[in-house]
Structure formats: structure tokens, C-alpha cells
Amino acid sequence: PQPVYLSDYQPPAYLVTHTELTFDLDPAATRVKARLQIERHPSADSQAPLVLNGEHLTLISLAIDGSPLADAAYQLTDEVLHIADVPETFMLESEVELAPSSNTALEGLYQSNGMYCTQCEAEGFRRITYYPDRPDVMATFKVTVIGNATSEPVLLANGNPVDQGALENGRHFATWEDPHPKPCYLFALVAGNLHKVEDSFETVSGRNVTLQLWVEQENLDKTEHAMASLKRAMAWDEQTYGREYDLDLFMIVAVNDFNMGAMENKGLNIFNSAAVLTHPNTATDAAFQNVEGIVAHEYFHNWSGNRVTCRDWFQLSLKEGFTVFRDQCFSADTNSAPVKRIQDVSFFRTAQFAEDAGPTAHPIRPDHFIEITNFYTLTIYEKGAEVVRMLRNLLGWEDFRRGSDLYFERFDGQAVTIEDFVGCMAEVSDVDLSQFMRWYSQAGTPEIDAHGEYDYAHGEYHLTLRQRTPATPGQSDKLPLHIPVRMGLVGTKSGQDLTLTLLGEKLGNDAVIHLTEDEQTFVFTDVAEAPVPSLLRDFSAPVKLHFPYSREDLAFLLTHDSDGFNRWDAGQRLAMLALDDLIAAHRNGVEKVMDSRVVEAFRTLLTSAMSDKAVLAEMLTLPSEAYIAEQQPIVDVDAIHAAREFVRQSLAVALRDEFVAVYKANQSDEPYAPTPEQIAQRSLKNVALTYLMAIEDEEGITFCETQFAAEHNMTDVRHALTLLVHSDRDDIASPALKAFGEKWAHDPLVMDQWFTIQVSRPQPDVLERVQYLMQHPAFSIKNPNKVRALVGAFAQNRINFHRLDGKGYALLADVVIELNRLNPEIAARLVTPLTRWQRFDEERQQLMRDELVRIKQEPLSSNVFEVVEKALA
Ligand code: HT7
Ligand code: ZN
């Protein structure tokens, strides 16, 4: 497969202004008739051929302006339809046949549980009809869907319903019109036996929008939270960004087989059922919050993505980075803002940093790709959102909002670039963002080495920051970035933020300093007492910050920093210092000794009357094994696991009574609600229980058993079951697991949780369990959720996946090879853990590489090929 380059971008030679489609649905032989109103681009050569994308299609007929095309008039390959000679404007009519029931890739038109549905982003529309499948071709659409009245009573497409009726032979039809010109990646169709929940929303200008959530009948009781989230998101986007919805109908459909979380098709969002269905008995708090965030994210795309879209797929972060930033802010406003930031950053620093340090590292705007679906990554989405957040911080909210208004107004109905977006921000604010643009083209995580000195004699604090970005594949030399560092100086005597005076200017207690050079020294004057610097507050830039904090400094910041995020971060850094010592002790065979400062810091947290229980729960949570691994030059899987377990157990032994007290104080009989208060209480209670179970405390075991049996809500049930299954008390865990599996055998989303709980336990029988569960009737390799829940979760189980006999790697490779044929997109994602082989010891490196080589010997999809090729380069 050949890469595509950003530098080769050319505008389309032909535009489609209006598209009419008729689908005659059949599982094995769906017919699609297309009528495309086409005109030559004003800048194109009059001799330019018409080149349309099309894959996995059987061409039945082709005509221009009503005249059928002779065979010699066009050329057909597996990927394109090429017509050499076409008029300036014309109507192209085609008919194709395709087989939705055998489409296991879940791109284009496919069937899920017998229901027809589509996924066209990024390049799935070419599996539906011959078309210029690129986002800068935007057309209005009229779509007629013909289906079987009994098996497909509901026929949906984008926009507004304009006609419907009965046909011969038990068939019926519905016609939909979407007045907003859109790229074909936003096209959607759904047909099946669906049931709806309906509500409405009055927009800021007084228009009434009908909201519909379409699900299978048995899921009708799982829609309330998604609907409420949608209404909150609609109101938030009006209030925060001045964005109003633009059709009379907004629909969401839940499907079981879906490659990602959801898709923002115009007026007809299609969701993975895991990203929309919730019920207190079946979904955890985390799932409730995830659904709220994804519903909002897809809704926000209506402006950031649909009304203003991307010129080409290299600009993907234009819509995804901005929309993730918008959904993060929405969730922060709706729930606990500090906790949202802690959770996002914690995930980001573990997973995106790892991506940025691995063989598939790429800039937020890549300059080439083989397979675009491989670029729906944490870098494009999450780092893209961090970069938008930096823009917001550099400009301030008011100017940022003015820039956003200008962007939506100026580019409404257009397909644009990242320069267009950043240009609007620069224009309204007069801030020079030229150096800032490097964030979009440079891959890798910048590192800042900082050190500070207090000059008692002059009352000055000298802070020196040095930045460097490590080399990444294809990018050896990096230029300095514009890095906003939000900071404060916390007085060691007063415990208060000191006023920051820089170059004679008073900046207040908390300010942003701009690091633009390789190295800069900032001299703060009038510093009356020795401070501890609080740097990168609220994670003001996506960088690694190194500062030689002592443990005393960190314990001080943990209790005194006015920035909630940095208080949490100080705790994480303190724990990391202790963990580093213990990892070294484990490797050297030396007795492990717990750092009493960590114990005392935790005691203070547990006994202080901290009002935000959700933040407290985060502060009591140790860095994950994956995060710890990220900090090590060479990952020692066993030492990391042993060290973390040792800290957990030491804390549990030392603070056992405090944990019991916290657990008891946070039990509640209130009926379940996904409110921030209740969620905070449950998470604090369950963190305490986790510590008690680290030492298999008898009272802790009783709490688990009671919590599991009470069946108040899935958050508590799942947590208790997980702790039991991950303990050595198989006598209690096995019957509980069995009962849970039997009770929920009918519910695929709960069975996913059942799979994950079992394969993430630390005991060494996990590999055999995975193999056994892959034969379970509830598992299907064709369903991405099942693959993620079982095989994906196993690959995150660090000590079991990285077994020294290599069987964990071999299992993953076997599944990747099978999925490469069925669903290349999921196969390419699943292989990721093997691509990180450079991070491990030599023995494991060899074992992982061997599996990558074995995969490479297969006839590979372009998706898996691109990833494996990079990993072995
Ligand atoms: N914009 C959507 C992307 C998406 C997707 C991409 C590739 C293959 C399958 C997919 N399903 C959805 C999701 C989003 O970011 O909102
Ligand atoms: Zn998105």
C-alpha cells in the first residue's frame, strides 16, 4: 500500500452539488441507485477525468444525462471508477449491488443484530456507491430507503422525513431530505425493528426540536440518561458557544456492532450501544459519565465538524481536538471540574505519552498516512484537545470565544484547515500564534527540565526552564515550542501563594509564563519568603515536567497548593518517588521498606475534612502500573507490580481503621442517581474498600460480600465482584462470578464487564481463562465490544500479558491475524501493545518482535500492515 501525502493535496476536479440515493435493502444483495448532480470545479482543467472511489461494489449500470455509458467509456478497478470524458455539468446515474450481511469490517453498509446501519467516516461511503469520497465535496442529500415492512419497520436517514408508504410484496419505503450540504462521511442510514423514546428541546430562538432515541425493545429502559445528557449538551452549546441546533429532528440510534464509540452523522447519530445505554443495575458510574461525554461530543460535532468540516483527513484534529476540548469542558461544568481534569490528564499522561514515545508517534496533523482509520488516535483527539486548551489559555476565554464565533461564521458550510481555525484565533486576539503552530507539526512529548533558586539576600526567585522534544520516527530535529506554563510560588512559611512580580510587573498569585526558547530564566522579585514553585498548574501544557522536588516539598504542596490539580499531582509525585525506590529494591533483591512520609500524607488526607470527596478519592489512588511503567527507562513488569502491591498493602496495614471508617461513613441507601455527589461518595467508599482488600482484611471481605449481594447498583456490585475475583478468595469469588454470569447472560453490555473482570485479575491462570472464555456463547470475535472486553482487557493485564513464556503475546497475535481478515480496523488497534516492544527487557523484546514478524508474514490489510511495518522499522 502507498502512503498519501498532505503536500499532494489538490482541490477536487468535480464537485457533487446534490445527491439522490435509493436503497433497496437485502442482506446479500442490496441495490443502491445514485443520481449525482456534478459540476466541474472552476479551477479544474476541462479535460480532467472524473475519478470516483468505490470498493466491494458490483456495478450494474452507469449513465450520464440519461445515456448509458459504453464499456469503453470508463475504467473500473478494485478501488476507482475512471471516466475520461465528461461534460462541465451533468447527472451521473449508477446502480450497484453490495452484501451488508457479509460486511464484517463494519465500514459502509452492514448488519448488526439483523439491523441495517452505516459507518462512513472516514472512507466508508465508497463501499456504498461510486462517489468522490473526500470531505471537501459537499452536497445536499435526498435518500429513499426501501425495506421489508416486518423486519425493517423503521427506515431512517439524515435530515427530515418527507415521504413514506407501502410497496408491493410486503415492502415499504421512507424518503429523507437533508438540506445542509455535507460530505459523504456524514451520510447515515438505519433500518430495522427499532423502538423509540421521544422528547423535545426548545432552542434559544424558540424552535422546537424533536429528539428521538432508537433502540431495540429490551433496551427502552436504558435511554433516560442519554436523553437527559443530550438536552444538557444542547443547552450548554447555546450558552457557552452560542451554537443552536439547525434541524427539526435529532436522532440517536444504538447498535451493538460498532468499531468506535459513536458517529456524528448529520441529524442521525449512530452509537455503539455501550456509549449510550445505561441503567443503574447494568452500568457503572464511569459508564454513566462516559455516555454523557460521548452524547455531548457527537452533538457538539454538529457545528465543530459538520457545519464546518475538514478539507482533508490530515486536518482530522481540527474537528476532533476542538470537539474533545468542548466535551471536556461540558463534563467539567456538569460534574466535578477538578476531578474531570485529573482523570483526563491521568489517562493522557499514561496513554498518549506512550503513543508519542512509540513507533507510531505522529504529529496532531500528520503529513502522510497509508490508512486514515489508523489515525483516530489519542494524539489527534486528546493531544489535539490539549492544544486547543492552550489556545484558550493563551487568549483567555473571551477572545477564544470571539475566535470561535468568527470561525463558525466565516467558514459555515465549508471544508477548511487548521490554519483557518488558528487564523481566526490570532485575528481576534492579535496574539502571534506562528510559533504555536509547531504544536501541529511536531510529534513527541516535550520535556521541561526546571530548577529554581531562592536568593534570600535580594528576595528573588530564579526559575530556569529548559525544553527539549525527543526525536520521533521521521523527525529527528525539533524546534522549541511555545509552551504556556501556569504557575504559582507557594510560601513555605505562610503556606500561601505569593504575588508574582516579573520584570517589575505584578502578575497576581497565579500566572502564565511563556517558554518559547530552548532555555529561559525567569526572575521573580519581591519574594518575601522561600517558596516551593507550583508549576504547570491544571496541566497547562501537554509536556513532561521535571523539577527536583524533595519529598518534603511534595508533602507541602499536597496540603498547601491552591491549585487542586497540582495538589493531586504532588501526591502522585510523592508516591512515584517511593515506588521508584521500591522498584529498585525489588530488582536488587533488597528488603522493601515503606516510606513513612507517604503513609503520613495519606493519613492526613484520610483524616482531614476534605469537602470534595471525588478529589479525595483520586488523591488516595496510586499511579497505575501503566503510568509507573511510562516513567521507567526500561519497563520491569514484575518489579512494578510488586512495588505497587507493596505500597497498597503497607498503606492498608498502617491505615486499616481509617479505611474502615471511610468505608462506613460513605455507605448510603439513597436510590441511585448519577449525581456528582453520589458518584463522589461511591468512589471514596470503593477506594477505601480496595485498600482493605489489598490485605484481604476479614471485615473488608464481609463488606465486599454484602455490597455484592445488596445489588444496589452496578458500580458497587461490579467493584465488589472485581475485588473478590482479584483476591485469592476463590471460595467466595467463584460462586459470585458464576451467579453474576448467569443473572446477566441476556445482557451483552454486562457480559462485557464479566469478561473484563476475569481477565484483568493478577493470578496466573488468566491466559487459560481468556482461551476458555473465547469459546463462551456470549463471546464473538466479530463484535468489537467483545474483543475489547476480553482480548483488549487481557493485553492491559500487565503481569499476565507479559508472561515470560511469550504465550500472552502469541495469543494476541493469533487474534490479530484472525481479525485482520474480518475487521482490519479493530485488528490494527488491537496489535498496539505488541508495537511497544522497545520499552521492555531483551527477552520480552525478542518475544514481542517474533510475534510481529509472524503477523507480518500473513497477507495483511493496509491497516495492520501500516502499524506492524512501523513497529518493526
Ligand atoms: N468522528 C467519529 C469517528 C468514527 C470513526 C472513525 C473510523 C472508523 C469508525 C468510526 N466511528 C466513528 C467519532 C467521533 O470522534 O465522534
Ligand atoms: Zn469526534
pLDDT tens across 209-221, in order?
A: 999 999 999 999 9
Distance 416 CA to ligand 1 centre (A): 19
Distance 401 CA to ligand 2 centre (A): 20
Q: Whose CA is nearest to atom 15 of ligand 1?
A: 320
Stretch 148-162: mean pLDDT, rounded?
Answer: 98
Q: What is the pLDDT of residue 808?
A: 98
**Is the ipTM here above 0.90?**
yes
Parent domain of 750: 744-873
Q: Express each pLDDT in 605-652 by its tens digit.
A: 999 877 789 999 999 999 999 999 999 999 999 999 999 999 999 999
CB of 424 closer than 8 Å to CB of 304 = no
Any domain includes 222: no
Measured distance CA(623)–CA(572) in Å, rounded: 6
Inform me whether the pLDDT recorded for 784 exceeds 90.
Answer: yes
Q: In 5-42, which positions are buried (b, 16+ CB within 10 angstroms) versus exposed (e)?
A: ebeeeeebbbbbeebbbbbbbbeeebbbbbebbbebee
Inform me whether the pLDDT recorded for 187 exceeds 80.
Answer: yes
Listed residues 143, 176, 193: the one ending a domain: 193
Q: Express each pLDDT in 226-251 by its tens digit.
A: 999 999 999 999 999 999 999 999 99
- Ligand 1 pocket, mutate which of 260, 291, 309 (most atoms under 8 A from CB): 260
Stretch 701-726: mean pLDDT, rounded?
Answer: 98
Distance 545 CA to ligand 1 centre (A): 32
Ligand 1 close to Cβ of residue 376 (< 6 A):
yes
Q: At what angle do helices 397-411 and 418-429 cross, to 10 degrees?
A: 130
Any domain includes 864: yes
Inform me whether the pLDDT recorded for 706 exceeds 80.
Answer: yes
Same structural domain, 365 and 384: yes
Q: Whose CA is nearest to atom 5 of ligand 1?
A: 121
Task: Tell me which ligand sits closest to the C-alpha of residue 271.
Answer: 1
Same structural domain, 377 and 423: yes
Same structural domain, 425 and 452: no
Inform me whether the pLDDT recorded for 252 exceeds 90.
Answer: yes
Q: What is the pLDDT of residue 611?
A: 79
CB of 717 closer than 8 Å to CB of 707 = yes
Report the largest interatomic distance among the alpha carbons of the chain, rounded to a whole angstrom.
Answer: 95
Same structural domain, 102 and 133: yes
Q: What is the pLDDT of residue 253?
A: 99
CB of 431 closer than 8 Å to CB of 391 = no
Ligand 1 close to Cβ of residue 259 (< 6 A):
yes
Ligand 1 atom nearest to CA at 124: 8
CB of 830 closer than 8 Å to CB of 790 = no
653 pLDDT band (50/70/90 cuts)? very high
635, β-bridge pairs: 840
Q: What is the pLDDT of residue 471?
A: 98
CB of 110 closer than 8 Å to CB of 829 = no
Inform me whether the pLDDT recorded for 23 exceeds 80.
Answer: yes
Q: Is 196 exposed, middle or buried (0-12, 13-18, 19+ CB in 10 A)?
A: middle
CA 721-724-728 angle, 5° bins = 155
Listed residues 417, 441, 465: the one ending a domain: 441
Any domain includes 13: yes
Inform me whether the pLDDT recorded for 66 exceeds 90.
Answer: yes
Any domain includes 317: yes
Same structural domain, 488 and 402: no
Inform me whether the pLDDT recorded for 46 exceeds 80.
Answer: yes
Measured distance CA(183)–CA(180) in Å, rounded: 10
Any domain includes 597: no
Same structural domain, 352 and 402: yes
Distance 314 CA to ligand 1 centre (A): 15
Ligand 1 close to Cβ of residue 302 (< 6 A):
no
CATH code of 128's domain: 2.60.40.1730
Task: Tell me which ligand sits closest to the C-alpha of residue 265.
Answer: 1
Q: Express each pLDDT in 745-769 by its tens digit.
A: 999 999 999 999 999 999 999 999 9
Residue 694 CB contacts under 8 Å (≥ 6 apart), including other chains: 645, 648, 649, 651, 652
Measured distance CA(60)–CA(31) in Å, rounded: 9
Measured distance CA(863)–CA(858) in Å, rounded: 13
Measured distance CA(220)–CA(326) in Å, rounded: 29
Ligand 1 atom nearest to CA at 373: 7
The strand pair at 544-546 and 447-455 is best described as: parallel
Q: What is the pLDDT of residue 287?
A: 98
Measured distance CA(756)–CA(237) in Å, rounded: 35
Q: Which of 93, 216, 292, 298 is catalytic?
A: 298
* Number of neighbouring beta carbons within 10 Å of residue 357: 18
Q: What is the pLDDT of residue 142?
A: 99
The answer to whether 298 is a known catalytic residue is yes
Same structural domain, 31 and 159: yes
Q: Which helix (H) or strand (E) holds 141?
A: strand 139-148
Q: Express each pLDDT in 523-564 by its tens digit.
A: 999 999 999 999 999 999 999 999 999 999 999 999 999 999
Distance 499 CA to ligand 2 centre (A): 41
Distance 377 CA to ligand 1 centre (A): 10
Helix, strand and coil content of the chain, in percent to the nearest 5, comes to 45, 25, 30
Q: Whose CA is nearest to atom 1 of ligand 1?
A: 263
Three-state secondary structure call for residue 545: strand
- Ligand 1 pocket, mutate which of 121, 295, 306, 826 (most atoms under 8 A from CB): 121
Same structural domain, 320 and 451: no
Ligand 1 close to Cβ of residue 296 (< 6 A):
no
Q: Express each pLDDT in 341-372 by its tens digit.
A: 999 999 999 999 999 999 999 999 999 999 99
Listed residues 193, 215, 236: the one ending a domain: 193
Inform me whether the pLDDT recorded for 290 exceeds 90.
Answer: yes
Same structural domain, 429 and 469: no
Using CA atoms, how far residue 483 sits from 389, 390, 423, 602, in Å, is 12, 8, 19, 33
Ligand 1 close to Cβ of residue 121 (< 6 A):
yes
Task: Tell me which ligand sits closest to the C-alpha of residue 325.
Answer: 2
Domain tally for the chain? 4
Ligand 1 close to Cβ of residue 690 (< 6 A):
no
Same structural domain, 425 and 482: no
Q: Express each pLDDT in 82-103 by its tens digit.
A: 999 999 999 999 999 999 999 9
Q: Express each pLDDT in 385-405 by its tens digit.
A: 999 999 999 999 999 999 999
Ligand 1 atom nearest to CA at 264: 16
Same structural domain, 378 and 500: no
Any domain includes 614: no
Q: Whose CA is nearest to atom 11 of ligand 1?
A: 260
The dihedral region occupied by 114, where left means phi > 0, alpha psi between -120 and 50, and beta the remainder, is left
CATH code of 314's domain: 1.10.390.10
CATH code of 498's domain: 2.60.40.1840
Mean pLDDT of the chain: 98
Q: At residue 60, what is the residue type?
A: I
CA dihedral 620, 624, 630, 634 (to 10 degrees): 120
Same structural domain, 159 and 46: yes
Q: Express each pLDDT in 823-834 by its tens digit.
A: 999 999 999 999
Task: Tell me which ligand sits closest to the C-alpha of residue 295.
Answer: 1
Q: What is the pLDDT of residue 610?
A: 74
Q: What is the pLDDT of residue 351?
A: 98
The three grid cell numbers given for residue 332, joined into one nine-digit string: 467539567
Q: What is the pLDDT of residue 380?
A: 98
Ligand 1 close to Cβ of residue 263 (< 6 A):
yes
Any domain includes 151: yes
Measured distance CA(198)–CA(750) in Å, rounded: 25
Distance 171 CA to ligand 1 centre (A): 32
Inform me whether the pLDDT recorded for 742 exceeds 90.
Answer: yes
Inform me whether the pLDDT recorded for 502 exceeds 80.
Answer: yes
> Considering the chain, what percentage of its residues have pLDDT values greater than 90?
99
Distance 320 CA to ligand 2 centre (A): 5
Please provide the size of the chain in residues: 873
Measured distance CA(480)–CA(448) in Å, rounded: 11
The strand pair at 14-24 and 139-148 is best described as: parallel
Measured distance CA(546)–CA(775) in Å, rounded: 48
Any domain includes 267: no
Nearest residue to 840 via CA among 175, 227, 354: 354
Ligand 1 close to Cβ of residue 297 (< 6 A):
yes
- Ligand 1 pocket, mutate which of 187, 263, 298 (most atoms under 8 A from CB): 263
Residue 12 CB contacts under 8 Å (≥ 6 apart), including other chains: 41, 44, 132, 134, 136, 137
